[in-house]
Amino acid sequence: CSSDLFTKKTAHPERLAACYEASRESLLQTDNLVEDIIKKMIPVAIGKCIDTVLFSTTKATGAVDFVGPFVGLKATAKQIGPNLDFKTMVIAKADLLKTGVEGEAMAWVMTKSMKAILEATPKDAGSGIMVCEDDKIAGIPVYTTQAIGDDYIGLGDWSYQRSEERRVGKECSEPC
């Protein structure tokens, strides 16, 4: 495994915005139901945008410097298949930790379909214990997103961007 696959990425702050249009009349006529829906949908829209940027293996449409750590790694991605087994996943984890990654905020990144496959893949032949159990593989949480695509499984330390903090949005009542 090449050590340049596992390098620390520099964080580049970017600003994202989502805007929904609604007339004052529609807000008043629905007893603020429309406003409540909008307030719930804006963080969802921002979260989906962040997923696309952080976890896609290709640059998001319109992005200049706003790219995730997996962009450009297709050519150098370490193949861990075609048979995904527990030992192969643990070796990938060990390879990442050998590079000096602290590992306190590590997470696997994959699609829901890949996670489903690993939830039905035994750790050992004849074992009733699966590779992915309780949303973890080898003690590391699994984060699912379609943005990474079915052909890739990502592994990284998300110290700069903890997944539980990613979907927190600040509400703004100013006009867009």
**73-98 pLDDT, tens per residue?**
766 677 666 678 899 899 989 988 99
* pLDDT classification of 8: cutoffs 50, 70, 90: low
Contact 106, 96 (CB under 8 A): yes
The residues, any chain, with a CB within 8 Å of residue 60's CB and separated by 6 or more, are: 49, 52, 53, 66, 67
The SS3 call for residue 78 is coil
List the structure tokens of 27. Answer: 């807000």
* pLDDT at residue 115 in the model: 94
* pLDDT at residue 172 in the model: 35
State the average pLDDT for the chain.
78
pLDDT at 165 over 60: no
Distance CA 168, CA 176 (A): 19
Contact 117, 144 (CB under 8 A): no
* pLDDT at residue 166 in the model: 41
Higher pLDDT, 134 or 70: 134
Q: Is the pTM of this model over 0.85?
A: no
Distance CA 97, CA 3 (A): 11
* pLDDT classification of 12: cutoffs 50, 70, 90: low
Instruction: Classify burial at 60, counting beta carbons within 10 Å of its beta carbon; exposed 0-12, middle 13-18, buried 19 or more.
Output: middle
pLDDT at 67 over 90: no
Contact 53, 67 (CB under 8 A): yes
Helices vs strands, H then E, count in the chain: 5, 4
